[in-house]
Structure 1
Amino acid sequence: MMIHNDTVSTFKVPFTFMSGAGNTFYFFDNREFIILDKSNFTKEVYNSDFLRKADGCIFIENSTDADFKMHYFNSDGTDGMMCGNGGRCAIRFVIHKNLFQNKPLSFCADGHVYKAELINDEVILELKPASEINLNQELNVNNLKIKYHSINTGAPHCVIFLHENLNVFPRLLNEIDVKNIGKEIRNHKNFPAGINVNFCEVINDTKIVNRTYERGVEDETLACGTGSAAGAFISNKLGYTGNECSVLVQSGETLKVFIKSSDSSIKLQGSAHLLFEGVLNYDSISEKISL
C-alpha cells in the first residue's frame, strides 16, 4: 500500500468484504492513512454501481491505547460509533491479515478500549457496560401508544417487545413492517439524535428473536450486534431471559449474549466471515473510486 503524499493522487486500496452474522462491511487497512476523508469515501463505496451493498465501512488504524483502532462509518457516511458485529469482524480481519496475533486482542473504538478473541471459529467480544437504561417508557407514533425501553450498548437502542404491545403490532415478528415503523421511531422527537430500533420476540427464558432498524443505514439490517445485546440485556433486566441468551437475527444466524448483572457487562459471540477481497483505485484529489 502506498503512503499518501503530494505527488501521487491515485492509489491502489485493497478491501475485504466481511459478514458478522449477516451484518456486512468493507474493511480497509488504513494504518498509513491512505484514505483521509473516510466519510466521503464510505459514501462513494455505498453509492458505487460496481460494488455489493454493505451496512458500512470499517477502517483499521494505529492506536496508542490498544493493538489497533477501529473506525466505523455507516453506509450514509455518518460516524457509526461502536458496531458490535463490526468489532468481531475486525478481530477476524487483523488475524487473517497477520497484523496482530495477541490473545486476546484489543482495539479502540469511539473512545473506548474493547477486548476480543477468536475461539473455535467464532469471535467473542466484550462490549462496554450497558448504560443510559430507561425501562417502561411510552411514545406515540401515528396515534398508537408504544411501550419501549432504551439503552446504550456502545450505540443507542430502543427495544420493543411484541408481547408488551399486542394491541399495536402483529403477533408474529415476521409480519412487522420494520423498515417503515422503525423509521418513524428512529426519527421520533423523543430521540433528537436518532436511535436504533429493535423489535423483539421472547421465545423462552434462553432465546429471543431480534429485528433491527439501524440508524445511519436507514433500513433493517440482517443483524445488529449492539442491538442484539440491547434486546438480550433489557430482556434479562425485565426477567424474561437469563444471563445467557441466544438471539436469532434476520439473517437466520444466532448471536450469543452473556450478561453479568453485577456490573452490567456484556459479551457478544458469533460468526465473522471473510466473503471476498479486491482492490479499488482511489483518486485522493477527486475522491472518486473505481475498479
Structure 2
Amino acid sequence: MQFIPFVKYTSCGNSFVIVDETEQTVLSEDDMSRFAFQATNISFGVGCDNLLIIQRCNKSSLQSINLSRDYWTRPPQEEQAEFLFRMFEPSGEEALCCGNGLMCIASYLLDKHGISNASIMTEIPLATPKVINIGAEDDQIGSWVNLGHPRLTPPELVDFEYAGQVAPAIHEMQELVVKFRAGDLKAYTNDTELRIRSLLVFTGEPHLVIFPDSDFSAPEQADYIFAGSGQDAERRESFGSWLIEHIGNYINNRMRHIFPAGINVNFARRLASGEIENRCFERGINRETLACGTGALAVAYIYSLMENLNISDIDVLPHRCRWHDEQAKIRIKQNSDGWKISSDPVMLFDAVYRLLPKNSSLSEVLNKDQDGIVTEDRKQVV
C-alpha cells in the first residue's frame, strides 16, 4: 500500500491537490497519471480540479519525464529553472499550464519552504517548455505569476486553415456555428444555431475569447450568460450555465478538426467600472470552471488590443466564482517583462492518501481497512 502526502489549496474557487517531490520521489510517472483520478474524484478520492506535482528541475527529473512520456526530441536544460510545474487532468493526461495552479504553488513554496520568488518550468508537454517566474508575499498581498507575453497558439493545438492572424499573438477564427436541437432555445428564440466570432490567443493554454454582446449573432443571449439580479435571475442563471456548457462541449466535440487537443472557451463582458467579467469552459475538465488564470489573462490581453488600450492593471472578475465569493478577482498587470496575474490562494488542509494497488478494486481495499485519507494534524480518516 502506497501512502502519498499532499496538501490541498484553492484559488478563486479552483482547488488543487499538490504533491511535493522537491526533496524525494513520491510517485512514478505512471502513478502520477493514475493518482490524478483519485485526487480529482469527489466520490472515490479527494476532490479537486487538478493534481499538481512540483519537482526540482534537474537532469534526473527531466530524463524520467522524457523516458516515460517522450515529449521532447532534445530535453530542456536543467539550469533553465529551479522547479518543474506538472498538472494532471482527471483523465490522467498532463496539461500545459494553469494560472491559479501556479499561484497555489507560489503560496505553497512560501508556506512550506520559505521561498518567495522562484523560476519554474511549465508547458511541459510541448516541444519547448516555458520558464516563468512565480512568487508570494508574506504580508497577505497574495501570490503572483508572470506568464510572460501572450503569443500565437502552437501549431499542434489548432488547424490554421480555419484561422486568420489579426495581431502579433492573435488569430481570428472563421465564424464558428454552434447548432441546437429544435426545442433547446424555444423559451428564448426560434433560432437553432448561433454564429460566433472568436479570437484565439495562447497564454500558457490555448484560449478562445468571445464577447457575447458583440460576438454572438444573437447578442441578447449575453444577458443570460452574465445574468444579474431581477425577478427571473435564477432561471436566467440556469439557462446561461446550460448555454456555456452546450457551446463549450459543442466546440470541443464537434470541432476537433480545428482544435485537435480541445480548446478553452472564454465568455467576457466589459463593465462600466472598467473591470471585465469572465466565464470559462475548460477543455481539460470538460465543463465550466469557477475561474481561470490563463483565461483571465487572455481576456484582458484581447480587450486591451480591441480597445487600443495600454493597460497597466485591470481586474478580471470570475463570474461563476463570485456566486460564492463576491470579492473574488484576478488582478492583471502588464509591464515590460510580461503580464502578471495575482490572487490570494488559501491552504485548505494537508493529508496523506492511501493509493490503491494498481489492480485492486476500491471495495476490496476498503473491506480490509477503512483508512483512506488521513490528515497530518489529526491522523484520522476524513
Q: TM-score, normalised by structure 2?
A: 0.68
1:124-155 per-position Cα deviation (integer Å, ceiling 9, x unaligned): 11003211111474211114210111100000
For 1:171, the equivalent position in structure 2 comes to: 222
> How do 1:200-215 residues align onto structure 2 when only pairs under 5 Å count?
200-204=268-272, 206-215=274-283
Equivalent residue in structure 2 for 1:124, among 111, 127, 144:
144
**Are 1:229 and 1:266, in contact at CA under 8 Å, matched by a contact in 2?**
yes
TM-superposed CA distance for 1:205, in Å, is 6.8
Aligned partners of 2:275 and 2:315 also within 8 Å: yes
Query: What's the CA shift for 1:272?
Result: 1.1
Please name the residue that 2:177 is paired with: 140
Which residue among 317, 323, 330 is the counterpart of 1:255? Answer: 330
Assess if the C-alpha contact under 8 Å between 1:44 and 1:288 holds in 2: no
Deviation at residue 193 of structure 1 after TM alignment: 1.9
Indicate the larger mover: 197-206 or 212-221. Answer: 197-206
2:18 match: secondary structure: strand
Residue of structure 1 in register with 2:21 after alignment: 30
Q: Which has the higher strand share?
A: 1
Unaligned runs of 5+ in 2: 58-77, 124-128, 153-169, 180-192, 228-236, 323-327, 363-371, 374-382
Pair 1:43 & 2:37 matched: yes
CA 1:240 to 1:274, structure 2 compared with 1: closer, same or farther past 3 Å? farther
Q: Which amino acid aligns with 2:252?
A: R
Contact 2:106/2:144 (CA < 8 Å) preserved in 1? no
* Amino acid corresponding to residue 33 of structure 1 in structure 2: T
- Structure 1 residues 35 and 286: CA distance shift in structure 2, 3 A: farther
- Please name the residue that 1:235 is paired with: 303
- Give the counterpart letter for 1:155 in structure 2: E
The one of 110, 117, 121 aligned to 1:108 = 121
| Displacement after TM superposition at 1:89 (Å) | 0.4
Partner deviation per Cα, 1:57-83 (whole Å, 9 max, x = no partner): 000111133222110112222211011
* RMSD after superposition: 2.2
Compare relative contact order (CA 8 Å, sep 6+) and give the higher one, 1 or 2: 1
- Residue 85 of structure 2 corresponds to residue 70 of structure 1: yes
- Contact conserved, 1:259 with 1:266, CA < 8 A, in 2? yes
Residue type at the aligned position of 1:94 = L
Residues 137 and 149 of structure 1 are in contact (CA less than 8 Å); yes or no, is this contact kept in structure 2?
A: no
Q: Which amino acid in structure 2 is aligned with residue 14 of structure 1? A: P
CA–CA separation in structure 1 for the residues paired with 2:360 and 2:117: 36
Deviations along 1:1-56, whole A, 9 cap, x unmatched?
Answer: xxxxxxxxx33211111111111111111232221121121023223625442110
Match of 2:94 in 1: 79
The SS at the match of 1:131 is: coil
Which one has the bigger helix percentage?
A: 2
Aligned to 1:162: 212
Tell me the number of residue pairs that the alignment of Structure 1 and Structure 2 aligns.
278
| Alpha-carbon separation, structure 1, partners of 2:297 and 2:40 | 26
Structure 1 counterpart of 2:10, from 12, 19, 24:
19
Q: Among all aligned residue pairs of Structure 1 and Structure 2, give the percentage whose two residues are the same amino acid.
A: 28
Contact kept, 8 Å, 1:205 with 1:240, in 2: the verdict is no
User: Structure 2 vs 1, CA of residues 270 and 196 (structure 1 numbering), >3 Å: closer, same or farther?
Assistant: same
Task: Give distance in 2, aligned partners of 1:147 and 1:191.
Answer: 16
The correspondence of residues 190-209 of structure 1 with structure 2, limited to 5 A, is: 190-204=258-272, 206-209=274-277
Work out whether residues 20 and 88 of structure 1, in 8 Å CA contact, stay in contact via their aligned partners in 2.
yes
Larger Rg over CA atoms: 2
Matches within 5 A, 1:53-68: 53-63=47-57, 64=78, 65-68=80-83
